[in-house]
Amino acid sequence: MADAIVELKNVSVYQGESLILSDVNITVNRGEFVYLVGKTGTGKSSLLKTLYGDLTLREGEGKVAGYDLSKMDWKKVPYLRRNLGVVFQDFQLLTDRNVNNNLKFVLKATGWKEEKLMDEKIADVLDKVGLKTKGFKMPYELSGGEQQRVDIARALLNSPKLILADEPTGNLDPETSDEIMQLLFHISRDYGTAIIMATHDYMVISKFPTRTIKTERGKVLDNASISMI
């Protein structure tokens, strides 16, 4: 399927020699928003790491953003990751530099060289997340919600086909969580970015319902019921 950003067929996910998930079959299309739920220790992180190229795909077929996961090696992983954005629960901003320079650090690390183009890109992503005027602020001068918006802006820098969001509302109050969710849904809808969001926040899921996949007993269940997980 031309619009498929993630395609896993008969995949087994390993951590070392331990089989974590087996017979995983998932397709996520362009612009689709999918929740990834499941109890701690059921394989959510391992699945994300496989998509991100952190765990080697040993069994089955897997493609992410056009890259064949079974043929990944350390030389190819950076190219895969340029097509991905990752949003963290704890923001992971560099505390010794302002917002603009946090974003510029990532651009330089992924091969950007021209200052003018970098400045234009930074202005663009900050505008998309509603922080147009905050580029000169230090991380400690921002609220938790604003820091998470910077994290999302960082994930957007290389116009990713897929964003992997790992508990992005985990450290936020309910009102700020709602704002971040609205922003993520806006990004998937308006920019065609596929988003897979790992979460334990069932209040968020009930407010913003969409397709849900669940890790449970070594399997991945698609469109799982999330009531009383």
Q: What type of residue is 140?
A: Y
How confident is the model at residue 223, as a pLDDT? Answer: 75
Q: Could you tell me the CA-to-CA distances from 91 to 52, 103, 124, 214 in Å, in that order?
A: 18, 13, 20, 24
Quick: pLDDT tens for 91-149: 789 999 999 999 999 999 888 999 999 999 999 999 999 999 999 999 999 999 999 99
Q: Does the CA dihedral 134-138-141-143 come out positive or negative? A: positive
pLDDT band at 42 (very low <50, low <70, confident <90, very high): very high
pLDDT (mean) for 37-50: 92
Q: Which residues of 144-174 are buried (b: 16+ CB within 10 A; e: fewer)?
A: ebbbbbbbbbbbbbbebbbbbbbbbbebbee
Q: Domains in the chain, start-ordered, CATH in brackets? A: 1-83+160-229 (3.40.50.300), 95-159 (no CATH)
pLDDT band at 224 (very low <50, low <70, confident <90, very high): low
Q: Please, are residues 121 and 112 in contact by the beta-carbon 8 Å criterion?
A: yes
pLDDT band at 79 (very low <50, low <70, confident <90, very high): confident
Whether 226 shows a pLDDT value over 60: the answer reads no
Q: Could you tell me the CA-to-CA distances from 213 to 122, 222, 223, 229 in Å, in that order?
A: 33, 4, 5, 12
Element (H, E) at 101: helix 99-109
**At which residue do the structure tokens 């897979």 appear?**
196
| Average predicted confidence (pLDDT) for the chain | 91
Q: Could you tell me the CA-to-CA distances from 16 to 6, 46, 54, 212, 218 in Å, in that order?
A: 23, 11, 12, 27, 15
* Least confident segment among 26-30, 85-89, 218-222: 85-89
Whether 227 shows a pLDDT value over 60: the answer reads no
How confident is the model at residue 32, as a pLDDT? Answer: 96
